[in-house]
Amino acid sequence: MINEINVKVKILSNLATMPTYASTESAGADLYSAIERVEILPHQTVVIKTGLSFEMPQGIVGLVYARSGLATKRDLAPANKVGVIDSDYRGEIMVPIHNHGNNVQVIECGDRIAQIIFTPYFKAQFDLTENLTTTVRGESGFGSSGK
């Protein structure tokens, strides 16, 4: 069973493309470039506009991830690794794309640039304490649980 939510989409540009799912089981909806052709130099970051803004239900966050093909074949991925779109944000969805490679890459209007996944989240109530429960792992981190 696939859970569904309603997300309102406002088109801000005549270059915008509505998000699409590549298949019926896709978790992420593709986001598209809504800018004219742009070159991204090696190790440069360029903010790519989508020409869209969203209104998500309260308690839902939009998480913007890399598209695996773009990352592996062209060395392009969101500069911030995962973008967080809060449900109270009404501005344009923009994706800072970083060129991790050594070749100039081109983004054309209508290119798929990232994918967005909508998910519920929890707000934490932070409780100050002097002691935390102990675990086998304890304070070991940064690769301590694997080889």
For 61-77, the pLDDT digits (tens) are 999 999 999 999 999 99
Asked if residue 69 belongs to a domain, the reply is yes
Asked if residue 105 belongs to a domain, the reply is yes
Instruction: Specify whether the CB–CB gap between 89 and 49 falls below 8 A.
Output: no
Asked if residue 127 belongs to a domain, the reply is no
Sole residue written with tokens 């983004």:
107
Instruction: Specify whether the CB–CB gap between 62 and 95 falls below 8 A.
Output: no
Instruction: With H, G, I as helix, E, B as strand and everything else as coil, classify residue 73.
Output: helix
Q: Which domain holds residue 58?
A: 8-120
Instruction: Specify whether the CB–CB gap between 112 and 68 falls below 8 A.
Output: no
Asked if residue 48 belongs to a domain, the reply is yes
Instruction: Specify whether the CB–CB gap between 116 and 19 falls below 8 A.
Output: yes
Asked if residue 88 belongs to a domain, the reply is yes
Asked if residue 102 belongs to a domain, the reply is yes
What's the one-letter identity of residue 6?
A: N
Asked if residue 139 belongs to a domain, the reply is no
Domain count, the chain: 1
Asked if residue 13 belongs to a domain, the reply is yes
CATH number of the domain bearing residue 114: 2.70.40.10
Q: Closest by alpha carbon to 82, among 108, 61, 105, 103?
A: 61
Chain segment 33-69, per-residue pLDDT in tens: 999 999 999 999 999 999 999 999 999 999 999 999 9
* Torsional class of 132: left (φ above 0), alpha (ψ -120 to 50), beta (otherwise): beta
Confidence tier at 141 by pLDDT (50, 70, 90): confident
